[in-house]
């Protein structure tokens, strides 16, 4: 009887585990099914609004609705909706940054090999996070600037890599951001943020 009880407990444990894993798989399947189309819709919206804003900008220029010839930012208000298009120059990198990033990754692999914590070393994890690229595949100037701050913790090779990064950030480009607002019932503009984390 004892052996039968133990067998029943083992079977009950297996059944609970299988039920849990089945529910988990179903939940994650549903999350994926909702998330991926949403991400694609947001990506399509971003591409669409960039094209449309560029076309509208050309119309504004044609009709003389720009305050100055080189104006790149503008605001459009219609009824209870407002869109602000803000363009600003940002520092970016040329091809030397790719070489510096490769050298830094090799350097970090060697650093990890000599570290007691290995890949769990917080310095390694921080540096790898700062090397992440945006959706256009570009390095973030602010992130790379944070790598400069760690120069005194490493050797001459690290400093040499940072020098290469510094040499490469000579190019500037225009970053365009879009801000949407809607007037509430009291006449106050409220920002509409198409961001999951802002909702």
At 51-102, the pLDDT tens digits run 999 999 888 888 877 777 778 888 999 999 999 999 888 778 888 888 888 8
CA-angle at 102, arms to 101 and 106, nearest 5°: 115
Angle at which helix 156-168 crosses helix 96-113, to 10 degrees, equals 160
- Please give the span between the terminal C-alpha atoms of the chain, in angstroms, as a whole number: 57
**Residue 118: pLDDT band with limits 50, 70, 90:** confident
Residue-level pLDDT at 18 = 95
CA-angle at 127, arms to 123 and 130, nearest 5°: 140
Residue-level pLDDT at 83 = 94
Mean pLDDT across 152-177: 84
Task: Report yes or no: 176 and 85 within 8 Å, Cβ to Cβ.
Answer: yes
CA quadruple 62, 63, 69, 73: dihedral sign: negative
Mean pLDDT across 148-169: 86
Q: Where along the chain do its domains lie?
A: 1-70, 95-169
- 44 has pLDDT over 90: yes
Among 25-34, 118-127, 183-192, name the one with the lowest average pLDDT: 118-127
- 188 has pLDDT over 80: yes
Residue-level pLDDT at 17 = 93
Give the residue, 94 or 11, on which the prediction is more confident.
Answer: 11
**Residue 160 to residue 147: CA distance in whole angstroms:** 12
CA-angle at 74, arms to 68 and 75, nearest 5°: 140
Residue-level pLDDT at 32 = 94
């Amino acid at each position: 009887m004892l052996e039968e009880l133990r067998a029943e407990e083992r079977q009950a444990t297996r059944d609970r585990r299988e039920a849990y894993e089945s529910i988990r798989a179903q939940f994650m399947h549903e999350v994926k099914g909702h998330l991926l189309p949403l991400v694609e819709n947001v990506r399509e919206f971003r591409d669409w609004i960039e094209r449309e804003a560029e076309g509208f900008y050309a119309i504004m220029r044609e009709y003389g609705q720009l305050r100055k010839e080189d104006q790149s930012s503008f605001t459009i208000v219609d009824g209870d909706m407002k869109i602000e298009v803000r363009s600003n120059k940002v520092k970016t990198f040329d091809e030397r940054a790719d070489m510096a990033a490769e050298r830094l990754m090799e350097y970090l692999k060697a650093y990890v090999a000599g570290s007691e914590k290995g890949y769990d070393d917080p310095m390694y994890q921080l540096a790898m996070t700062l090397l992440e690229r945006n959706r256009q595949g570009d390095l973030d100037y602010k992130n790379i600037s944070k790598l400069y701050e760690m120069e005194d913790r490493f050797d001459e090779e690290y400093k040499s890599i940072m020098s290469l990064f510094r040499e490469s950030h000579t190019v500037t480009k225009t970053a365009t951001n879009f801000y949407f607002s809607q007037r509430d019932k009291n006449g106050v503009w409220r920002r509409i943020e198409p961001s999951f984390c802002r909702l």
